[in-house]
Amino acid sequence: MAVGQKKTAVNDKYLVRAMTSVGGGVAASGGMCGAFVGGVAFLGSVLGRDEPEKKDDPVLWKACHMFYGKLEQETIAENPGINCRDISGVNDWRDRDQKREFYKGEGIVRCKKNVGKAARILCEVIEKYIAAEDTRS
């Protein structure tokens, strides 16, 4: 999400603030990896509708599908699943021992690697869909 803001010169501190809550797998629950949620949220912030009554732009769904699909495929190739607990090895972020092991062990390495994949894929999606969208405007 942050890399998307830098790549597109979008600076939305409220989006950054909102996405803080997806760390540790949505609300530190170990659920869906925040890199998935952050990337899709960023694409929605740029390509989504700005009024509830408006129709969705089909480009939004193409971009989100490309991002999610590629990241899911690459994540599952190296991890048991797409949830934070699958990548980090942490089942309960409130457990200090699990958190300590995450930061000392391979969990942090796998997490950072997945965030890096998400950033790369998000940039690919931005180049394909958002840059193309800018030339049509």
| pTM, rounded to two decimals | 0.88
Whether the Cβ atoms of residue 107 and residue 24 lie closer than 8 Å to each other: no
Confidence tier at 10 by pLDDT (50, 70, 90): confident
pLDDT digits (tens, 9 = 90+) for 70-123: 999 999 999 999 999 999 999 999 999 999 999 999 999 999 999 999 999 999
pLDDT at 133 over 70: no
Q: Say how far apart CA 21 and CA 43 lie, in whole Å.
A: 18
* Residues in contact with 126: Cβ distance below 8 Å, sequence separation at least 6, in sequence order: 4, 7, 8
> Quick one: pLDDT at residue 136?
45
Q: Hey, what's the torsion of the CAs at 86, 89, 94, 98, to 10 degrees?
A: 170
Q: In this predicted structure, which of 8-12, 42-46, 126-130 has the lowest mean pLDDT?
A: 8-12
Q: Say how far apart CA 86 and CA 136 lie, in whole Å.
A: 40
Q: Say how far apart CA 111 and CA 95 lie, in whole Å.
A: 18
Please report the DSSP string for 122-134 in residue order. Answer: HHHHIIIIIHHHH
Mean pLDDT of the chain: 91
Domain ranges of the chain: 2-136
